[in-house]
Amino acid sequence: MPIDIEAVLGATLPQRQSSWTPSEVILYHLGVGAGSTPTDPAELEYTYEAHLKVLPSYRVIPAVPMLPDMLKVPGIDVDFAQLLYGEQELEIHQALPVHAEVCTSATICDIADKGGGALVVLEAVTTEAATAQPLVTNRFSAFVRGEGGFGRASSRTPGTAPPAPTGPSDAEITCSTVPSQALLYRLSGDMNPIHADPVFARRGGFERPILHGLCSYGMVCKAVWTRSWAAMSARWPATGPVSPGCSIRVKRSRCGCGAPRVRSSSMRSARSAGLRCCPTRSSTSVNSGRLSVGGVSSAAPNAPRSSACSETPPRRGWRP
């Protein structure tokens, strides 16, 4: 079998060291749609170093190289073209500076049989290089198509199902991508050729290169973070690919407990990613990854509407 469960589960990857400056932060922000209206003050907060803010989703970047590293672990022998992003979770420990030198270590913490493939969960912890203080924990769930059938259930505790919405959406945002979106986003470190090479994408079963799951993740993060949509706990499950050039629609409705629930979908695809949201006392979220904050205030800013996305009234009768 291409994945040797006994050899791979619990394997620790070699530590990686990395750093970033405002230039890398701005490049990431451009990759997730910032700056579509270059002179908008709300956009300049993410594209101009004078008053630069860092989106919460930038925290995935130091850990992204661990995904291809995972395929080098003895006991994993799979086709890179069959590896897809499945789900993302963030646990924030400290505020993120615009300059940093960090170390990232990672462990394969779970492997589950999903029938048509294997779900491999990689937990990566990024720490400050100088102090060893943790900054963020990433949990990537990677879906390896064609590698199921070994019969192992997940060892992770399942999350609590969200309360059902009690009415139609009360807010809606449309985030536009451009045909070159994946080519720009990959410069932040995710160089998987399935996002750039048409031949490689076809080998993976796609007609053309697809957008990075973590790019659409970042776009949704920016859209809701800059609008101060209410604090909540959330996890981002990717249920279908987005093609560069498509638009991503983000909708908010209310659960029975009164908390917002957010869903996003490609406007050229029937697939959607429902962000399972409910409030917690210890968490603040940008609706695109669970942000369990330890001693860090990360409430979304009361910023003007970002011009990278357009906000429209909800369509009458829509339900998630």
Neighbours of 179 (CB within 10 A): 12
Per DSSP, the chain holds a count of helices (H) and strands (E) of 7, 11
Catalytic pick among 29, 93, 195, 212: 195
| Known catalytic residue at 77 | no
CA dist., res. 192 & res. 190, Å (int): 6
| Known catalytic residue at 40 | no
Torsion angle (degrees, nearest 10) of CA 56, 60, 62, 64: -160
Task: Name residues whose C-beta falls within 8 Å of residue 249's C-beta, 6 or more positions apart in sequence.
Answer: 172, 173, 174, 175, 264, 265, 266, 267
Catalytic pick among 77, 190, 197, 212: 190
User: Starting at the edge strand that comes first in sequence, how are the strands of the sheet with 247-254 ordered?
Assistant: 272-275, 260-266, 247-254, 171-176, 309-312
Residue 141 identity (one-letter amino acid): S
CA dist., res. 306 & res. 48, Å (int): 15
CA angle 138–140–144, rounded 5-degree value = 165
Q: 62 is written with which tokens?
A: 């130091």
Q: 127 is written with which tokens?
A: 């720490």
Distance from first CA to last CA of the chain, Å, rounded? 39
**Which residues are part of the catalytic machinery?**
190, 195
